[in-house]
């Protein structure tokens, strides 16, 4: 088969679809963020508790045009220090990504 560059994005989208097509439970994503992420990340626009300097606030991630669901999900699956390995399940990652995206303004 000949290599046709213009087909590559279409194929990449096709492969990514099953992962993002699952139903998303935003409330569960929010609850997970409150449990696991709130000590390091600002998880919404009204957060009063303080966090260390460094981890990006979730609303900022949501507003960043470079943020894609794939990028968020792969970051959560392959954590690097000081972010601990949280061993999130696929459905937890899915809900957290949905929650973060719901913050977009
Ligand atoms: C112990 C602190 C800590 C905890 C807990 C933590 N994070 Fe992070 N996180 C970080 C730091 C630090 C970075 C920045 C790393 C970098 O950019 O090199 C980061 C970066 C990220 C990014 C990168 C986004 C991007 O594209 O640049 C995402 C997404 C993320 N965290 C999601 C989460 C989620 C979801 C949770 C909860 C399930 C969580 N984090 C819990 C410290 C933490």
Q: Which of 10-14, 48-52, 83-87, 97-101 has the lowest mean pLDDT?
A: 10-14
Does 15 have pLDDT greater than 90? no
Name the pLDDT band for 90 (thresholds 50, 70, 90).
very high
Q: Is the dihedral of CA 92, 97, 99, 100 positive or negative?
A: positive
Which pLDDT score, from 0 to 100, does residue 72 have?
A: 94
Which of 29, 35, 37, 99 most suits a substitution to test ligand 1, by most atoms within 8 Å of the C-beta?
A: 37
44 CB-near residues (< 8 Å, 6+ apart)? 58, 59, 103
Q: What is the pLDDT of residues 64-83, one digit of tens each?
A: 999 999 999 998 988 778 88
Closest approach atom of ligand 1 to CA 64: 26
Looking at residue 9, what is its pLDDT? Answer: 54
């Amino acid at each position: 088969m000949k290599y046709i560059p213009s087909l590559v994005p279409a194929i990449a989208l096709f492969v990514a679809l099953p992962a993002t097509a699952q139903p998303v439970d935003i409330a569960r994503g929010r609850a997970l963020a409150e449990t696991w992420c709130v000590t390091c990340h600002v998880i919404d626009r009204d957060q009063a508790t303080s966090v260390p300097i460094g981890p990006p606030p979730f609303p900022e991630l949501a507003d960043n045009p470079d943020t894609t669901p794939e990028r968020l999900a792969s970051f959560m699956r392959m954590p690097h220090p000081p972010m601990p390995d949280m061993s999130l399940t696929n459905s937890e990652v899915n809900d957290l990504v949905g929650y973060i995206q719901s913050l977009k303004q």
